A = this chain, B = another copy of it.
């Protein structure tokens, strides 16, 4: 007779992400209401449009799961949720500015017109600028002494992301070496993914607690998976243009080493992250499931 105890139940990662999304959306809606009451309503509307466009909320989920993995409080009133919202604001600002005509010039994001298309370029600029300020404001609106360390982490990685963007625009049309592509990926995307995992750890324990390499490996795996989706994915599922890296002549890891080798490296990075997390046992279940989701996702 089959012993059912030995068949592990797969972690319901889609449910987990849905629950995190609902909580994050709720908080952002409430904040949007506050911004609308206090200041220019059109700016607040555009902020809500940018923030509530149906993102996966992967970074908030990583923050909360990393916090849970270390036994921290991932509840609505905890520091981890505060950091998760701030990080999502930074991520959203980067998308809004990245879509502008002087950057990627994109008209579609998550299946809807980008902010500068739905509003105008000046408003999109201010939405991005304002979201960066609001991220720090929200994070620091607490007396929790760990907020300063989290704000320093956020500032460091928001700056790293800008460095990555600068490498990216400097690189267009020029052949990059594999080392340069990896450096660009680590800065442009890896920084905020790393910040998510490390931030969750700081919220839980006051320090990175050894999770920094996990964040870096997941950042790498995430960006390779993203580049693969851009090459092989479907615009309708992704809600954005595909094939744009190739069209822009941007060097990505798949374009340098091939699709199969890139996929192998994403899986290797994911496996390394999973191995690091093994010793944390049950509480790290959601974080391990997110690590697997990063490389298997279709959107």
- Chain A residues in the interface with B (C-beta under 8 A): 39-40, 42-43, 93, 97, 100, 102-103, 120-123, 125-126, 128-130, 132-134, 136-137, 140-141, 145, 147-148, 151-152, 154-156, 158-159, 162-163, 165-167, 169-170, 187
Contacts and interface: CB of A to CB of B under 8 A. Distances in A.
Contact of A125 (B103, B158, B170): B103
B130 A102 contact: no
A155 B133 contact: yes
Given A163-B39, A170-B40, A152 B137 contact: yes
9 contacts: A40-B163, A40-B166, A40-B167, A102-B125, A122-B169, A133-B158, A133-B159, A140-B152, A148-B148
Nearest to A39: B163
The main secondary structure of chain A at its interface with chain B is helix
A92 B123 CA distance: 19
Contact of A148 (B100, B140, B166, B169): B140
A207 to B, nearest CB: 14
Contacts of A103: 122, 125
Contact of A136 (B43, B134, B154): B154
A151 B125 contact: no
Contacts of A187: 39
B154 A151 contact: no
Contact of A42 (B43, B158, B170): B170
B40 A126 contact: no
B123 A169 contact: yes
